Amino acid sequence: MEMKKARPANFAEYVDLFPKNVQPLLKKMRQTIRKAAPKAEEKISYGMPAYTQDGILVWFAAHNTHLGFYPRASGIEAFKEELSGYKNAKGSVQFPFDKPLPVALITQIVKFRVKENSVKVKAKKK
């Protein structure tokens, strides 16, 4: 995939960096995350879309053949079985462009991360 060389300032600029066939997948990922974490703030972090709520929740990025989803190591570990059909590592998973985006699973992981961050914040206040 040919990507223009630029540092995006926001999600719209990020999406514009990618071919037309990839843009709907990026928008679907964004929509899924925003629905699962409506209070999360969106920003560009490490050159990719990121969502924060009581700390970082998740990042995602388009690559040559897949969308990378980065819910931290805890998000991968908590859903290890559900993610076993995808290539993954300690803090990341790859969703191939040629397969449907697992919206329900992404939603579960994002909600898990919201709860996890909330618990950490409450524990620090005690």
Domain harbouring 109, CATH code = 3.90.1150.200
**Residue 50: helix, strand or coil by DSSP?**
strand
How many domains, the chain? Answer: 1
Is residue 20 domain-resident? yes
2 DSSP assignment: -
Model confidence band, residue 2 (pLDDT cutoffs 50, 70, 90): very low
In a domain, 90, yes or no: yes
Helix (H) or strand (E) holding 49: strand 48-52
107 within 8 A of 71, measured Cβ to Cβ: no
Is 126 among the domain residues?
A: no
Say if 124 falls within a structural domain: no
Q: Please list the residues that pair with 69 across neighbouring strands.
A: 60, 93
Averaged pLDDT of the chain: 93
Task: Decide if pLDDT at 1 tops 90.
Answer: no
CA dist 41 and 76 (Å) reads 21
- For the ranges 2-6, 37-41, 57-61, 72-76, which has the lowest average pLDDT? 2-6
Q: Judge whether 125 lies within some domain.
A: no
In a domain, 2, yes or no: no
Beta bridge partners of 122: none
Residues 12-59 have pLDDT tens digits of: 999 999 999 999 999 999 999 999 999 999 999 999 999 999 999 999
Residue 32 lies in domain: 11-116
121 inside domain: no
User: How many CA atoms, within 13 angstroms, populate the side-chain half-sphere of residue 54?
Assistant: 19
Summarised one tens digit per residue, pLDDT across range 95-110 is: 999 999 999 999 999 9
